[in-house]
Chains A and B, each alone.
Chain A
Amino acid sequence: MQSNEESALLKRAREYDQAAIAEIYDRYSLRIYNYIYHRLGNAPLAEDLTATVFLRMLEAIRSSKAWQTSFSGWLYRIAHNLVVDHFRAGRQDDVPLDEWPVASHEHPADVAERSLTQQRLRAAISQLTEEQSLVITLKFLEGMSNAEIAQLMGKSEGAIKSLQFRALAALRRIIGGEEL
């Protein structure tokens, strides 16, 4: 569901109106950046892929493959696909040890273990289906409510509850039951 204001904005964007596209970028780029960062844990890469998301948006904004119900959901899907492509290409380089955020009270070994666990978890999320991956990221990494996710994905809240259950079960299977 889109507001009239957003519908008008998207209509202008389809005409390649620069001001409209700039507004869309300002409105969504930080959210998309946060999403990609949570998925990859790498800020420069997240910045680069965020730019790519919006270039892809521009390429497809007039296409019939563009969004049907939720524009922001469509942007998240583009971001998801880029993240998956990144993992499939095997480019998920480990963050160098000296770039890990280390709190002063943490032992470096604990930090290293935590980071490895997080990387494995991120890789596992990327093996889920698009919808499962989105719901896991939006719910647990972005902290969105079921209602917000439902609106973004164009589904009912009940469907989101089912989806998150299946997504968690699938993620558990991918990890293979081993302790993270």
Chain B
Amino acid sequence: MTDRLEAILDEWLNEIDSEESLEARVAQQPALAKDLEPLLRLVLQLKSLRQEQIPPPAALQRGRQRLLSEVARLKEAEAAKKQGRPLLVWPSLQSLMRRSTVTIVLVALLLSAVLGVGTVAASAKSLPGDPLYAVKRAAEEFQLLITFDRQAKAQLMQQLDERRREEAKAIAGSQRIAELSFRGHVDLIEDAHWTVGGVVIRISAETVLEGDIALGTFVRVHVRSLSDGTLLAVRIAAEPEAAPTESMPSPTPKPTATFTSTPSKTPIPTESPPAQAPVQPPPLIPTPTSSRTSTPKPTVTQTATATAIPPTAAPPREVKVRFKGRIEAITAAAWTIGGQMVKVNAQTRIDESSARAAVGAIASVIATRQEDGSLLALEITIEQAEPPAEQPFEFQGLIDSWSSTQWVIGSYTVIITADTRIEGTPQKGLLAEVKALRRADGTLIARQIVIQLPQEEVQFEGVIQSISPTEWVVEGVIVRIDAQTVIEGTPAVGQTAEVQGLLLPDGAVLGRRIIVQTSATPTPTPA
């Protein structure tokens, strides 16, 4: 008996969508009514829950980021476990060494006597995450502590900064999981990727930015390396360039001539371009870090390194700045490059020997700062053409219009290509989920469009107020017509129609079936 009831219930479930259909069905099989009617009424109640329109989720992207951060953390924990990596003792050593000269002596003894000279030497090539890395950092810190000459200390700090950057590159190159920090100048800012001191880092929505950061700002970067070789920036903080490593007070006054950290986001000053009379930098302290830098051409960091050391540097008469970035806008009077507006005039040399100047291309700029604070470009070199790189971009929105070449969905226009996969039939007002590629110029190429049909069914009756091939107005309600809409009878304005359809997110109804009732005295249809 139960099997039979189950089978009949299942059959009826698909047929019953209203009180009327339920009563009609039960009337045909009165013998089963006692058992099944209460269950079928319950089903109608359950279906009413389904008809409730689901608000589009606003925070799923945040959940995705949270999940991926957790994945990175788990991977790192796993890698540490596999390597038998001890918990970092570095912070405790660091704080220990701050205390007194007596402690310094003790630490010196600890490093050389307990660990042995060989151990310290062996740690030199260690990287963050290696067991000997804490020894390497402790040895460096000790070296800083016993260096009392100001210039020598500054030079040592620059060497250590360079070493941290090399470590970051090595970690990224070996695709190891680690957390590390380094310092350097911001020398390139693109959408999701920055270059700091020659090290490429990735910026996410969760990256914390502290301080007034622009191209050329000296910053400390805390990154987490991922297994794909990406260095994901966790925190970027502006920092005075002359400041020593985190545990040390600054021994070097900031040279006013070569380094500005004014709120006007001044890029790094540098030497003059070859075409101009060079501004002679003050006598330089030899910097062995320069020869170790893998970047073949002089970088912003190196320049700043050379000019920032002498505490008595005299301000040059004309401060020249150099920066690099993506061209965001070009007008006759000014260009915007990497977020920085720079004026151009007849004397500005535009070097297009490598690539054509266009929005999206990468350019390096040498400019002078004018009295009013603006930048005037002396030379703009286009280094790299507009990249073909395309970024994935996903969004949801209501369909506004569509054609064979482009659709307008929400506030976006997407380009349709032969490769675009479209699931569902477009209709104005329907919700569409779009997976697209965003080109450098901002255009969106649709890869996939999934059209969501609304689930809430509506039925009403009213007077037809207007008629067009795609849209009617019935009793004040916009009823959209598509190829699936079944129209029974001959429609005319003024006649009564029964509309069955789906409630669209924008409040209109997608007509599925429209029954035009025959009127004894039809109203003439306007032309």
A binds B: yes
Residues on A close to B: CB < 8 A? Answer: 16-18, 21-22, 25-26, 29-30, 33-34, 37-38, 41, 43-44, 46-48, 50-51, 54-55, 58, 101, 114, 117-118, 121-122, 136, 139-143, 146, 161-162, 164-165, 168-169, 171-172, 175, 177, 180
Q: Give the 7 A-B CB pairs with smallest separation, nearest first.
A: A51-B63, A140-B46, A43-B55, A47-B59, A165-B6, A168-B39, A16-B75
Interface of A is mostly: helix
Stretch of B66-74, B167-175, B321-329, B420-428 contacting A (4+ beta carbons < 8 Å): B66-74
CB distance from B508 to the nearest CB of A (A): 13
Taking a contact as CB atoms under 8 Å apart, the answer to whether B64 and A140 are in contact is no
Judged by a CB distance under 8 angstroms, whether B234 is at the interface is: no
> Would A165 and B57 be within 8 Å (CB), given that A18-B72, A55-B70, A180-B45 are in contact?
no
Interface of B is mostly: helix
CB distance from A20 to the nearest CB of B (A): 9
Judged by a CB distance under 8 angstroms, whether B52 is at the interface is: yes
Taking a contact as CB atoms under 8 Å apart, the answer to whether A41 and B52 are in contact is yes
A151 to B64, CA, bound (A): 26
Taking a contact as CB atoms under 8 Å apart, the answer to whether A16 and B49 are in contact is no
A43 to B74, CA, bound (A): 29
Size bracket, chain B contacts: 35 or more
Taking a contact as CB atoms under 8 Å apart, the answer to whether A161 and B228 are in contact is no
Residues of chain A lying within 8 A (CB to CB) of residue B54: 34, 37-38, 43
Select one of B50, B60, B62 contacting A30, CB under 8 A. B60
Judged by a CB distance under 8 angstroms, whether B252 is at the interface is: no
A22 to B49, CA, bound (A): 30
Taking a contact as CB atoms under 8 Å apart, the answer to whether A141 and B58 are in contact is no
Residues of chain A lying within 8 A (CB to CB) of residue B78: 16
A22 to B71, CA, bound (A): 10
Residues of chain B lying within 8 A (CB to CB) of residue A139: 13
B39's nearest neighbour on chain A, judged by CB, is A168
Taking a contact as CB atoms under 8 Å apart, the answer to whether A118 and B49 are in contact is yes
CB distance from A124 to the nearest CB of B (A): 10
CB distance from B395 to the nearest CB of A (A): 13
A146 to B46, CA, bound (A): 16
Residues of chain B lying within 8 A (CB to CB) of residue A47: 57-60, 63
Taking a contact as CB atoms under 8 Å apart, the answer to whether B57 and A162 are in contact is no
CB distance from A48 to the nearest CB of B (A): 8
CB distance from A93 to the nearest CB of B (A): 17
Judged by a CB distance under 8 angstroms, whether B48 is at the interface is: yes
Taking a contact as CB atoms under 8 Å apart, the answer to whether B455 and A168 are in contact is no
A9 to B58, CA, bound (A): 26
B396's nearest neighbour on chain A, judged by CB, is A30
Taking a contact as CB atoms under 8 Å apart, the answer to whether A142 and B50 are in contact is yes
Chain A to chain B contacts (Cβ below 8 Å), 14 pairs = A16-B71, A18-B72, A41-B49, A43-B57, A51-B62, A58-B67, A122-B49, A140-B46, A140-B47, A146-B10, A161-B10, A164-B9, A168-B9, A180-B42
A90 to B38, CA, bound (A): 28
Taking a contact as CB atoms under 8 Å apart, the answer to whether A21 and B47 are in contact is no
Residues of chain B lying within 8 A (CB to CB) of residue A55: 66-67, 70
Within 8 A of A (CB), among B1-60: 2, 5-7, 9-10, 13, 38-39, 42-43, 45-50, 52-55, 57-60
Residues of chain B lying within 8 A (CB to CB) of residue A162: 6
Taking a contact as CB atoms under 8 Å apart, the answer to whether B67 and A118 are in contact is no
Taking a contact as CB atoms under 8 Å apart, the answer to whether A58 and B71 are in contact is yes
Taking a contact as CB atoms under 8 Å apart, the answer to whether A140 and B50 are in contact is yes
CB distance from A43 to the nearest CB of B (A): 4
A34 to B455, CA, bound (A): 12
